[in-house]
Amino acid sequence: MGWRNYLRQFLRDLRSQKLRTVLTLFGLVWGTASVTLLLAFGEGLQERLIKNIRGLGENIVICWPSQTSKPWEGLPRNRKIAIKDEDIEALRREVPGLTAISGEYSAGNKKFKVGHKVLVPGMTGANPVFAAMRNLIPQTGGRYVNDLDMDERRRVVFLGDGLKNDLFGDEEAVGKYVTVNGVPFLVVGVMQKKEQDSSYQGRDTDRASIPGTTFRAMYGQEKYGNFVLQVADADKVEVAKDKVIATLAKIHRFDPTDSEAVRMWDVTENEKFMHSFMLGFRIFLGVMGVLTLVVAGIGVSNIMNVVVEERTKEIGVKMALGARQRAIITQFLFETLLLTALGGAIGFAISAGICAGFPANLDEYVGTPAISLQVGATTTAVLGVIGFLAGFFPARSAARLNPVEALRL
């Protein structure tokens, strides 16, 4: 018996039992589509949530100098910690693995005016590296604060896209002026729209940035309200945080174990939690999809048991003519796996069509479902195992038939 004979037998059964075959295929198609779509939507949702988290910045730590809560080396508690440029430079030298660090000035009481429009948005004074750390990407034709702006204390401003729309509407903003408390500032850039689900001084879309040196010169603020650092490797963030505390403790003479002296928000912790949560969620979705596919597999197994009963005499004749148990098992496994592959292929095609036609305007809410290599491999593996088990046991029963008894039935 060859593969052509197996295929010929399969096609003969397909023609003679069309309704049964269609119903069996429907179960396989439904199960395959369920597994694939659940995993694809889970992956799309995870990518969307991670992208929203990274809107604030990737591998960054926001640090707020506060006041000591413990006495240290004869000094009392409740001493305020003030961070200046020399402290930022010390951290840049001492903390390993840093890709960038910037102090940040903040103000929320400055009036922005364009024509008759007056707004009071949040305003940041920072270094040029601040933009890369906080994902403040300028739109085409604009830029963020640069080193020359810092050196010359230029009165330039970078606007969030929401703030730009509020001030200028649909007009081009770059190259125009906005007055800040009556002082004209040249708009040098507008932020590209980005997703951001967390913030510490308001969403970036509604904020403005000016050179840190300009902020200090105009408003007389020497001490940074906070500083932001970025680490190249997310796994080294804890080491960097410890070194930051140790360095500042040495400079400002406070207990290195004093957690109140410098408060920190490690953004990578949010991402780690989200990865763990979404892993559990995707496993749950996968299990639900697999159970649906198992039900389809049970249906296939039942059908193959019926096929064995209907073809008992045929099996008896083949065995009487010398067919071995291996040939009988191979024949039924071939038919089962071919049916499973056909149902799986149709299910994959339906899933791919749904993912391809998914509305783009829903991406910001649930992400875009994607059938990745991992999703495809997982579904294929589950489908293969279920197809094999669904066909093996009926095939083994057929191979164990006594030829004489089979011919009598």
Give 43's Cβ-side CA count (13 Å radius). Answer: 17
pLDDT at 204: 94
Give me the mean pLDDT over the 148-163 stretch. 96
Cα–Cα dist 374/39, whole Å: 9
- Between residues 220 and 14, which one has the greater pLDDT? 220
Cα–Cα distances (Å) from 320 to 156, 314, 325, 392, in that order, read 94, 10, 11, 22
Cα–Cα dist 409/4, whole Å: 28
Burial level of 70, CB count in 10 A (0-12/13-18/19+)?
A: middle
Give me the mean pLDDT over the 15-28 stretch. 73
pLDDT at 251: 94
Measuring CA to CA, which residue among 189, 61, 52, 216 is closest to residue 125?
216
pLDDT at 31: 81
Give me the mean pLDDT over the 238-247 stretch. 94
Highest mean pLDDT among 232-236, 333-337, 360-364: 232-236
Confidence of residue 376 (pLDDT cuts 50, 70, 90): confident
pLDDT at residue 197 is higher than 90: no
Helices (H), 211-324: 212-219, 237-252, 267-310, 312-320
Give me the mean pLDDT over the 98-127 stretch. 93
pLDDT at residue 303 is higher than 70: yes
Confidence of residue 5 (pLDDT cuts 50, 70, 90): low
pLDDT at residue 307 is higher than 90: no
Residue 125: CB atoms within 10 Å: 26
pLDDT at residue 42 is higher than 60: yes
What are 168's two structure tokens? 């200028």
Max Cα separation, the chain? 105
Give me the mean pLDDT over the 82-87 stretch. 93
Give me the mean pLDDT over the 145-160 stretch. 96
pLDDT at residue 2 is higher than 60: no
Cα–Cα dist 174/185, whole Å: 11
pLDDT at 372: 76
pLDDT at residue 17 is higher than 70: no
pLDDT at 35: 83
Output the average pLDDT for the chain. Answer: 85
pLDDT at 271: 82
343 within 8 A of 22, measured Cβ to Cβ:
no
By DSSP bridging, strand 262-266 and strand 60-65 are antiparallel
Give me the mean pLDDT over the 254-261 stretch. 92
Per domain, the residue ranges of the chain are 3-53+272-408, 60-267
pLDDT at residue 325 is higher than 80: no
pLDDT at 273: 85
Confidence of residue 67 (pLDDT cuts 50, 70, 90): very high
36 within 8 A of 373, measured Cβ to Cβ:
no
Measured over the CA atoms of residue 399, residue 400, residue 401 and residue 404, the dihedral's sign is positive
pLDDT at residue 408 is higher than 70: no
- Between residues 52 and 145, which one has the greater pLDDT? 145
pLDDT at residue 25 is higher than 90: no
